[in-house]
Amino acid sequence: MKILVTGGAGFIGSHVADAYLAEGHDVLVVDDLSTGKEGNVDPRARLYRLDIRAAELEHVFETERPDVVNHHAAKASVRESMVKPVLYADVNVLGSLNLLDLSRKYQVRKFIYASTGGAVYGEPQYLPADESHPVCPLDPYGASKAAFEHYLPLYHTQYGASFTVLRYANVYGPRQDPLGEAGVVAIFTGQMLRGEQAVINGSGEQERDFVYVGDVSRANILALDRGEGGIYNIGTGMGTSINEIFARLKDATNYQSSAVHGPAKAGEVFKVYLDAEKAASELGWRPRTGLEEGLRRTVEYFRTLA
């Protein structure tokens, strides 16, 4: 199949593109390289440096005629979204809608959408949160990702467009930006390997569901032929505190400093982890990489960059 991966030069998207290439698919990448890196793109994939809002995106569809669109391109920082909510709506809703409408026009067989289980549910009413949990985001990033989800069944009803939504937990692993505002595993790892002071926002008792990027890539492979019209949590079903992540990474990196705590960040959920049993039963997906192994691989990767 010919698969167009938006955000395919970014952290998660590049792993997904690599997984599709490994399965023998023809892969196109659309990425504006605002946060993604050209070096993350396998030379076997064709890279189009474009914003998903750009009118020129139609030329890619007209020329390439992809069978599947896998949509990972997004503005993805909770903190930034609190000060730039209009930008997040513009990229994550209107940009995504531009992509979806081109998919309709050029008869794309399936649209796979990378959403967020870490932000759309807000502060959970129960844990682990399943797909039936009320959607009540606390930040514009989560709101923008949830808003676009509503267009997919609409397009399915009106135009017969096939889709699958994957709501990710907190994805971590190689290629995550250690200098970014999101991705605590990469941020801590980078700081510890550089000998800088790692700062925990708030008490550190916040809990997240940490899922390894390789497992996430496998979910995107399964979604090519399964999960028609479905929404699926992709997570481990377990919460891990930020304090525990700090302690595990301190051991893995041989970091000598103790934790320093800063103020908590506005808009962030305190505790969330996901029930992924629906993905297990309908996609055949379960996480395979334990936290210890995933953190080890991540630290090894960042050591190679030092």
* Alpha helix (H) residue ranges in 117-275: 140-149, 151-159, 184-193, 213-222, 242-253
Cβ-count burial 84-103 (b if 16+ within 10 Å, e if not)? beeebbebbbebbbbbbebb
pLDDT at 87 (0 to 100) = 98
- For residue 199, which of 208, 187, 211 has the smallest C-alpha distance? 187
Q: Which residues of the chain have pLDDT under 70?
A: 181, 306
90, 95, 100, 104: CA torsion to nearest 10: 110
pLDDT value at residue 267:
78
Residue 271's pLDDT is 95
Q: Which amino acid is at 136?
A: C
Q: How many CA atoms lie within 13 A of 65 on its CB side?
A: 1
**Domain range list for the chain:** 2-172+211-235+275-288
Calculated CA dihedral for residues 244, 188, 215, 121, nearest 10 degrees: 70
Q: What are the pLDDT digits (tens) for 66-125? A: 999 999 999 999 989 999 999 999 999 999 999 999 999 999 999 999 999 989 999 999
pLDDT at 180: 72
Asked if residue 27 lies in contact with residue 48, where contact means CB atoms within 8 angstroms, the answer is: no
Which homologous superfamily does the CATH classification assign to the domain defined by 2-172+211-235+275-288? NAD(P)-binding Rossmann-like Domain (3.40.50.720)
Identify whether the C-beta of residue 169 lies closer than 8 Å to the C-beta of residue 274.
Answer: yes
Distance CA 148, CA 144 (A): 6
Is the overall model pTM greater than 0.95, yes or no?
Answer: yes
* CA distance linking residue 154 with residue 71, whole number of Å: 17
Q: Point out the residues that are catalytic.
A: 141
Taking alpha carbons only, the member of 116, 230, 110 closest to residue 165 is 230
For residue 291 the two structure tokens come to: 């936290």
